[in-house]
Structure 1
């Protein structure tokens, strides 16, 4: 019956004179396969139940090749924010005051053997930390930059217990995790130096580890807010008087703004943000509330780069190729320039830069004047 069905489909191509060979060729022609249907779990979570049925299947899932674009954007933003953090919250701007020789320092119990270096060497150590953060941002000698950053960062972190806070601890954890990952395969200097790693896939666990870390940050913050003082609206009651909450006071009295918006909203957001960011249907709403929350925190509290770092982590929950789709929406001439600039041929890069230069030069020349660049026998000639 299957043979008859295929013959009937291609009946117009088979003559009634009975050319068996033609019919067989039509039968043997490859037919397009319909795409396999995904299970409900695969549609929602991105993996099948069988992927969790054994340790081997789980390892295969976590090593599934994944687009490096989103990880590369996060690496760039994190490195940039840490470079700023070194000069601010880490204390480079007031290093002479913080590490005066012989100044008493409260240290962690297990790390009381650590001693601050002489002031000149502390400046050098902070310079290494700053260069490490800059290298992470640029993806330049990526692994070395990560080691430069986290080794000096944790040393400074453990020197002074009084400077501890949860987001400083988070920075060190993320820096350590990035050291284990292949974060230099997109938007990196290493990718320009080594074309073999440019846009190469990264294993899925790179994203899974960072997403899990951010989920823990939100969820543990929500758990901590379940104490009586927070639930009853006493912990941060003064915040309701801040001007940022004036829009809510149009419809609610100050007491309810404090109870429902400040305390209730903060509790619900922290408990649910990790879940809402994970699913496609709820991610846009989570993006809005999480962004609003962190932008407000940046104005309400002196918490350095924490709010901006958390904003930078949100796109990690999107599809890993979102930067490519985002930049693909740019005008076509920008896409062309970007493609040419990333070309492996130095000649192509020269003509890319020269075209930008000549186009800019033409805007300052009279209409009767023509400007061009020409390469002849290794010499560059400008003609006007």
Structure 2
């Protein structure tokens, strides 16, 4: 069994698809960072007096403005270098490192596609994507190749299938099936020119909700089946371009569409596509007519197999961890990150803190005095972030000589148009509550769906 698996994973396949994937990923990730710089998103890392962290990554430093700008510029240069195949291994490592450091720098900047970009950049660093049609080949730094091991394609196929499938499974909840989240997201878009009247229709959130579930759950298997692949890719084009028109979402829809095309069609598809095939033919020779019957198996295969198996297990299990917690994950947020939950909850409300000093005096603290607007908007609906900021306030008061204070959160939060209620118990001293993976018992029950 293991021998057959190893043979399948190391079977040589046409490298043409990997060349296109390298160019698409490098260019798109460079564009994402260029857009972040141009639109001023770097302020979200620079202006706040406090940065939210991921659990177990509290040790991450608060980067200075030059470092934040440098990470963005580094990602842009590295992305272009990856696309060109110039000093590819180093460029891919730098690209993955810049993205990962920025991802970990501010938890309220969590976006599913940013997380996906970190993963894909790291994967590319392990792949021989520079062995054809690259600056490294032209400079003689690496020997050219016409094939790549099949595991390179399978790994990316697996990752994209996980994203689609888990996004679909996450939509099988009462709020989504009652079109609540999309009704909230689409309401402000009724004023759009041309399509605004359509988006403001009461029926559109329902149609988009059920179409979204069907697309996410079915697109990967339908793309894998040759007979349905053209129709499934047509649906993917419609889905992702619709997202561009309605929600924007930066580079993500284009990235998803192009990478989907690069992965789910046969490895030699670039040789058949008009315009692309001429460019590929001039730079990537055809593989030998009779490929090596027995794939070349490197000595490091046990390590690679163990790594691939561990990675697959993490990607399959981590998105399911929210089932270990009672309650509605869209309310508690316990297990929300890294689970491919996309646009499933719309939260709004208010939040302030009562800081009780040792002498009994009470201060009312508003997060907006310390945080950016985006941070405040995210903080309001995330109990773990509410806890983090309570700890920060306690430490801040201690540094200013006030001693040990108690910190209470006063909140009113609405989820997907459900009735508003406090998201955390206002009687709990959050300064004394530890930050942990365990259940936060001070989170209130989710309001009922009406």
1:64 to 11, 28, 51: 11
* TM-score after normalising by structure 1: 0.66
Of 203, 206, 214, 2:152 maps to 206
Q: Does 1:178 pair with 2:124?
A: yes
Query: Residue 105 of structure 1 contacts residue 159 of structure 1 at CA under 8 Å; is this kept in 2?
Result: yes
Matched, 1:86 2:28: no
Cα distance change on mapping 1:92 and 1:176 into 2, 3 Å: farther
CA gap of 1:205–1:248, structure 2 versus 1, over 3 A, is farther
C-alpha displacement of 1:209: 0.4
Secondary structure of 2:181's partner? coil
Structure 1 runs not aligned, ≥5 long:
1-53, 344-384
Q: Distance in 2 between matches of 1:128 and 1:196?
A: 24
**Aligned twin of 1:323:** 270
Contact 1:278 1:317 in 2 (8 A): yes
1:148 — aligned with what?
94
Shift of 1:313: 1.3
Pick one of 104, 107, 110 that aligns with 2:50: 104
Q: SS at 2:179's partner residue?
A: coil
Residue 236 of structure 2: which of 282, 290, 293 is its match?
290
Q: Secondary structure at the match of 1:109?
A: coil
Q: Tell me which residue corresponds to 1:263.
A: 209
CA distance in 1 between partners of 2:40 and 2:275 (Å): 44
Quick check: 1:273 aligned with 2:219?
yes
Q: Which residue of 1 aligns with 2:104?
A: 158
User: Contact 2:78–2:91 at 8 Å: present in 1 too?
Assistant: yes
1:194 corresponds, among 111, 121, 140, to 140
Distance 2:183 2:45 in 1: 37
Of residues 124-133 and 135-144 in structure 1, the stretch that sits farther from structure 2 once superposed is: 124-133
Show the 5 A alignment for 1:188-267: 188-194=134-140, 197-237=143-183, 239=186, 254-259=201-206, 261-267=207-213
Which is higher, the Rg of structure 1 or of structure 2?
1
- SS class of match (2:83): helix
Deviation digits for residues 211-265 of structure 1 (CA, Å, limit 9, x no counterpart): 111111110010011001111222212538757996996xxx9444432x21111
Q: Please state how far the C-alpha of 1:99 moved relative to its aligned partner.
A: 4.2
Contact 2:132 2:284 in 1 (8 A): no
Q: How many residues align?
A: 281
Name the structure 1 match of 2:306: none
CA contact (8 A) 2:24 2:259 kept: no
Q: Deviation string for 1:247-285 (max 9, x for gaps)?
A: 996xxx9444432x2111111000000101111100100
Post-superposition offset of 1:128: 1.9
Partner of 2:24: 77
The two structures have a TM-score, normalised by structure 2, of: 0.57
Aligned to 1:309: 255
Contact 2:270 2:276 in 1 (8 A): no
What's the C-alpha RMSD, in Å, of the aligned pairs? Answer: 3.1
Q: In 1, Cα distance between the equivalents of 2:150 and 2:243?
A: 31
CA 327–256 in structure 1, closer or farther in 2 if over 3 Å, else same: closer
**Structure whose residues are more often helix by fraction:** 1
SS in 2 for 1:84: helix
CA deviation vs aligned residue, 1:126-157 (integer Å, no higher than 9, x gap): 32222111111111111100111111211111
Q: CA deviation at 1:195?
A: 8.4
**Conserved in 2, the CA contact under 8 Å of 1:184 and 1:190?**
yes
For 1:359, the equivalent position in structure 2 comes to none
Q: 1:338 to 1:321 in 2, by over 3 A?
A: closer
**How far is 1:167 from its partner?**
0.9
- 8 Å CA contact 1:66–1:203 kept in 2: the answer is yes
How far 1:165 moved relative to its partner? 1.3
Contact 1:146/1:175 (<8 A) preserved: yes
- Taking the aligned partners of 1:233 and 1:117, their CA distance within structure 2 comes to 40
